[in-house]
Structure 1
Amino acid sequence: MLTQPESKYRPQPVIALPDRQWPSRRLTHAPRWLSTDLRDGNQALAEPMDRARKLQFWDLLLRCGFKEIEVAFPSASQTDFDFVRDLIEQARVPADVTLQVLTQARQDLIERTFAALQDAPRAIIHMYNATAPLFRERVFKQSKAEIIALATAGARQIRTGCEAQPATDWTFEYSPETFCFTEPEFALEICEAVAEIWQPCAERPMIINLPATVEVNTPNVYADQIEYFCRHFSRRQDVCISVHPHNDRGTGVACAELALLAGADRVEGCLFGNGERTGNVDLITLALNLYTQGVAPQLDFSQMNEVIEVVTACNQLPVHPRHPYAGELVFTAFSGSHQDAIKKGFAIRRQNAETVWQMPYLPLDPADIGCSYEAVIRVNSQSGKSGAAWLLEQNHGLQLPRALQQDFSGCVQRETDRHGKEMTQHAIWQLFCRQYGVEQPTLRLLNAESQSDAGAQTQLNANAAQDGKALRLRGSGNGLLSAAVNALRQSLGLALTIEDYHEHTLGKRSDSRSVAYVSCLNMAGERAWGVSIDNDTSRASLQALFNAASRFLTPENNLQATRQADDETSR
């Protein structure tokens, strides 16, 4: 790269519009949409779609709600021509959907285009020619007058062709290709000339498409160009202003949004932004941007996974994992602080039964586009305490106390640091069960009986097993867990105190299982947690205590348990 790029590159000119109005406007309704996936998108593929894939894509666009679809450049190939004929002859076009086809302003191509559209119920015939000085001077070597003559000759031919097929409901569309780097005055002049021939009115509708064929400036300049054109075009009320932004500077979506603010009525683009070079504007992102502002986009992407599946199969192009709204990772938080904010946001939403969506880091509810919450939080070495806690809550109903979240987070951190990979939901659950004795406790409660005397003392008689050895536990205290702590001290010599205790049910039914969380301290001030899930709350509490206590078992404790078991056997 050059250290002084100004020696090679020149900034594109801007437009003088000091009283521009678009910056103070808001988008309050959806534009008219045109999908050009089957034409512009198809032309951009290394292996263009065959008939079967085109039909599959066509059906998807109908399900998504598109009413105007550019299906082909019928004069470009026999495949495109045949596809248009198939849609018409097989009556595949719904009554509220209009076909659009593209042609250059050339006599032979226009004739071929009308042949493809024979007997179409409704059609938009879209003619274009390049207008920018770069193309006039270097590609076509024609003057402004010659460029206008080419466009008007094509317009006359198209009007004649439309009048010769009155059974079709025609709409004429003209694009001054390379509009965004055409002189604003010349763009107006050539569009006025074409409109003079076509005479747009309710009976003869016309679309003027103002494309950013190659992005050469910032989106605000494109908006100025659109507003300037809308202000000065003499038949503004009789035409639909359409935009067709590309993405050469990576600002195609911004260009489309600002163009709508500036007065455009319609947007042409592709799903996921496919198209020549850097792509067309992404209609999914545009539509869902509106949706998250409370504006109904009039397109349906409620089954996003199906959309992705069909588009990737037809285009043979992947959807980037960070693609807005649709990527595999766009609703996923790995960062600990992000996870904590999202977890708290969901908790408040559930607690307050909120209807308005207010969620940290998630501008769109994944459920609205058919995505589950399973991928919202994923755990790796960058994750904090909330990540694993969220997954345990979502998949197993556990509501971990904050201190237990911190404790388990350290376990997860050590595990992910060890292997350096993301931990799956299954792996997190298995680690949790091993760490806190949920499934295979070292000290297993077999049965227990308790009773309280008049002095409010609880007497506990329990049988347990440790490493296959039977163990009898007896103790008393001012409650069930207090009695169990004393029993552990007498039977195993474990001097413990209960630091924290929590429990909750795992469902709303009266017979739902309960989960208990117990934190214990030994004489050295060391802490251990135990967790247990059981249909009986008392059993869950006792087993959770035993699971915590087993973390402090030493060989001496094991020997004591063995001797007690032998004594019980001999008796």
Structure 2
Amino acid sequence: MCNYTKYKPYETVTLEKREWADKTASKAPTWVSTDLRDGNQALANPMGIEQKVAYFKALIAFGFKEIEVAYPSASQTEFDFCRKLIEEGLIPDDVTIGILTPSIEKHIKRSFEALQGAKRITMHLYNPTASNQREVVFKRSKEEIITLALQGVKCIKSESEKFVGEVVFEYSPESFSQTELAYALEVSNAVIEAYKPTPTKPMILNLPNTLEACTPNVYADRIEWMAKHIQNKESVIISVHPHNDRGCAVASAELAVLAGASRVEGTMLGNGERAGNVDLVTLAFNYYSQGIDPKLDVEKVDAILEKITSITGVKVPQRHPYVGDMIYTAFSGTHQDAIKKGMDIHRQKEGNFWEVPYLPIDPEDIGREYKNSIRINSQSGKGGVAYVLKEIYDINVPKELQAKLADEVKSISEKRGGEISSDEILGIYEEMIR
């Protein structure tokens, strides 16, 4: 039985001066793909080693410089995948691979074993910190949870001294989004103090929205509060890992960056547990559409998505922002007329900013054709019909015929239902002018 009264509002954050709300993005954050770990564990049929290799190569082609590749202490497949990447020289020199490990000595040592020979790695240590996990799952006190985290830090520092390559340390209070803010700070500061990062060798503090339970503005408040209160802040990179349980992961990530984060972990198309992780494709295009270098090769997006969806079986929704099949398509007559007029003006000017109505970016930037931006059915108008003939057949329909042609096309569509092809429209027009 539906009973909304058993849920309580998420606790807000008190900030003396909320700064993120007055900021504007000027550069994209560092992107970290967790597709091969976080995304892979959410597949009904997880990837095998060869599939993961193919996916890894697609991520490299798209421009990722940080990739979390595995949880190598969890299974032999994950361990063997790490070894294959390293032993076969598949990791470019400018790419850092990372793994996830719990704060358990045998898991940490197994993870270092998996990564021997890599030039630069991220050792991502995590342990749950929320009260419901402390008390229900682990049955440990706040002090005991901090001790658990510090045991992991000590082990990683010890193993790092034996490791030939560079080790970047990352820590996540895994259930940050459900952790009391003061306690999240206490745990994080204890880890920072124990690891002793420096400005030249910083550590990463990852603050996940592991379960998205608050609005994006509150998440941003939490990030700003942590950024202002952590110790040795000049030696700490703030990272976020937003999930999408409320459907707001993209907004949460963008606001978190304004609030002090400079690194975002997520996946292609938002694949991940439950409602998924933040979608890095949408995020990158959001920056791109604001005139900011997205730091990913977005012009390759269709080819990259074709590769990864063939591997995972995850489909691109038709209405997915920027990359869905229908995202640049208009059937509505008013929308079509605005697009047609906007394109006419855009073509008359050279070097002007993109300002075509209803098209957030230029479809040609990712290899989409203008002729596909307008499709015709019973909802279409004269501007759309004329646009199709101009774009595909270079025919300028006289103004006095546009309304008559549109009425005929609409009548046919209404009678039989469905879409009218460009060839049919051409046939109707040619019959009309005979």
Per the TM superposition, whether the score is higher than 0.5 is yes
**Alpha-carbon deviation of 1:110?**
1.0
Deviations 1:233-273 (A, max 9, x none): 01111011000000000000000000000010100000111
Equivalent residue, structure 1, for 2:270: 273
Q: Contact 1:304/1:371 (CA < 8 Å) preserved in 2?
A: no
Partner of 2:321: 324
Distance in 2 of aligned mates of 1:164 and 1:205: 19
Alignment of 1:347-362 (within 5 A): 347-362=344-359
Determine if contact 2:405/2:428 at 8 Å carries over to the other structure.
no
* 1:418 shift after superposition: 1.3
Tell me the equivalent position of 1:5.
4
Is 1:367 aligned to 2:364, yes or no? yes
Q: Check the 8 A contact 1:40/1:275 in 2, yes or no.
A: yes
Match of 1:19 in 2: 17
Contact kept, 8 Å, 1:68 with 1:97, in 2: the verdict is yes
Question: Hey, what does 1:315 align to over in structure 2?
Answer: 312
Report 1:389-404 matches (<5 A): 389-404=386-401
Q: Distance in 2 between matches of 1:403 and 1:139?
A: 74
Deviation at 1:202, TM superposition (A): 4.3
Supply the distance in 2 between the matched residues of 1:374 and 1:58 (Cα, whole angstroms): 34
CA contact (8 A) 2:63 2:295 kept: yes
Runs of 4+ in structure 1 over 6 Å off: none
**Corresponding residue for 1:138?**
136
Aligned to 1:119: 117
1:205 maps onto 2:202 in alignment? yes
Unmatched runs of 5 consecutive residues or more in structure 1: 437-529, 531-546, 548-571
Matches within 5 A, 1:128-527: 128-165=126-163, 167-202=164-199, 204-433=201-430, 435-436=431-432
The CA deviation at 1:18 is 4.4
Q: Secondary structure at the match of 1:66?
A: coil
How far is the alpha carbon of 1:355 from its aligned partner?
A: 2.7
Q: SS in structure 1 opposite 2:356?
A: coil
Question: Could you say what secondary structure the match of 1:398 adopts?
Answer: coil
Q: Which structure has the highest helix share of the two?
A: 2
Superposition deviation, residue 25 in structure 1: 0.2
Residue range with higher mean Cα deviation, 12-21 or 96-105 = 12-21
* CA distance in structure 1 between the partners assigned to 2:359 and 2:72 by the alignment: 43
C-alpha displacement of 1:203: 5.1
2: distance between equivalents of 1:115 and 1:13? 42
Contact 2:192 2:231 in 1 (8 A): no
For the residues of structure 2 that align with 1:195 and 1:85, how far apart are their CA atoms?
Answer: 30
In the aligned structure 2, how far is the partner of 1:370 from the partner of 1:18?
47
Whether contact under 8 Å (1:30, 1:297) holds in the other structure is: yes
Deviations 1:77-98 (A, max 9, x none): 1111111000111111111100
Q: Which amino acid aligns with 1:150?
A: L
- What is aligned with 1:543? none
Report the Cα distance in structure 1 between the residues aligned to 2:328 and 2:351, rounded to whole angstroms: 20
Amino acid at match of 1:199: K
1:369-418: CA deviations, max 9, x gaps? 12111320111111111122111110000111222111110111011111
- In structure 2, C-alpha distance between the alignment counterparts of 1:144 and 1:371, rounded to whole Å: 54
Query: Counterpart of 1:449?
Result: none
Give the secondary-structure state (helix, strand or coil) at the position aligned to 1:342.
Answer: helix
2:82 pairs with one of 81, 84, 103: 84
Query: Is 1:123–1:171's contact at 8 Å kept on the other side of the alignment?
Result: yes
- Is the Cα contact below 8 Å between 1:332 and 1:375 reproduced in 2? yes
Mapping 1:93-104, distance limit 5 Å:
93-104=91-102
Q: 2: distance between equivalents of 1:276 and 1:424?
A: 40
CA RMSD of aligned residues (A): 1.2
Distance, in Å, in 2 between the alignment partners of 1:18 and 1:108 is 44
Calculate percent identity across the aligned residue pairs: 49
Are 2:54 and 1:36 equivalent residues in the alignment? no
Distance 1:352 1:281 in 2: 37
Gaps of 5+ in 2: none
CA distance in 2, matches of 1:15, 1:411: 60
Secondary structure of the 2:299 match is: coil
Does the Cα contact within 8 Å between 1:304 and 1:370 map onto a contact in 2? no
CA contact (8 A) 1:205 1:239 kept: yes
3-state DSSP class of the match of 2:237? strand
User: Aligned equivalents of 1:25 and 1:225: distance in 2?
Assistant: 16
Moved more, 183-192 or 347-356: 347-356
SS of match in other structure, 2:370: coil
Name 2:55's counterpart in structure 1.
57
Identify which of structures 1 and 2 has the higher relative contact order when contacts are C-alpha pairs closer than 8 Å and 6+ apart. 2
Counterparts of 1:403 and 1:271, CA distance in 2? 48
Q: Comparing both structures, which one devotes a greater share of its residues to strand?
A: 1
Separation in 2 of the partners of 1:161 and 1:235? 23
- The answer on whether the counterparts of 1:170 and 1:204 sit within 8 Å (CA) in structure 2 is no
Query: 1:392, 1:72 → 2: CA distance?
Result: 51
Q: Quick one: structure 1 residues 374 and 50, their matched pair in 2 at CA, closer, same or farther if it must change by over 3 Å? A: farther
Q: Residue 354 of structure 1: CA displacement?
A: 4.7
Please report the TM-score for the alignment, with normalisation by the length of structure 2. Answer: 0.98
Q: Distance in 1 between matches of 2:89 and 2:103?
A: 29
- The letter of the residue matching 2:54 is Q
